Amino acid sequence: MFSVALDESTDTADIAQLAIFIRGIDETLSVTEEFLGLVPMMDTTTANDIFNSLLGVLNRVGLDWPRAVSIATNSTPSMIGNKAGVATKFREKYRLYVEDVNCEHFTVFRARRHCVASR
């Protein structure tokens, strides 16, 4: 089984970067975590752009979709939007490989960012 975590942020050159991580557990209950990539988002950062970049990285590593259990990301609309967010697109892709039509065994985790202002 595996979970995916991703975050999009802008670097000092004002280029959006998508960080992608994966955490997996095997049959012996060994947990592994890997940084899969930092993908520059050269044009726009729509849900489609982010999802396509995510798919490219996950396909490159030979992802076994039926073993997906969750995705973790921030709470921006492009990430968690109910109609077209990355998490929704990920869930739809997952549905193509499993019989769990309601995706009851798939979870979306949303991180909230807290900003601290200093004087």
Distance linking the first and last C-alpha atoms of the chain: 45
Instruction: Render the burial of 6-16: b for 16+ CB within 10 Å, e for the rest.
Output: bbbeeeeeeeb
Question: What's the pLDDT score for residue 50?
Answer: 92
Report how far residue 43's alpha carbon sits from residue 94's, in angstroms, rounded to the nearest whole number.
27
Tell me the domains of the chain and their CATH numbers: 2-111 (3.30.420)
Give per-residue pLDDT as tens, 70-111.
888 887 777 877 778 888 888 888 777 766 555 555 555 555
pTM to 2 decimals? 0.78
Question: What's the pLDDT score for residue 114?
Answer: 37
Dihedral sign, CA of 81, 82, 88, 91? Answer: positive
How many CA atoms does the CB half-sphere of 96 hold within 13 Å? 7
Q: Is the pLDDT of residue 21 over 80?
A: yes
Question: What's the pLDDT score for residue 99?
Answer: 66
Ramachandran angles phi, psi of 89, nearest 5° = -65, -40
Structure confidence at residue 112 as a pLDDT band (50, 70, 90): very low
Question: What's the pLDDT score for residue 1?
Answer: 86
Of 63, 15, 59, the C-alpha closest to 38 is 15
Q: Is the pLDDT of residue 119 over 90?
A: no
Give per-residue pLDDT as tens, 25-72.
888 999 999 999 999 998 888 999 999 999 999 999 998 877 888 888
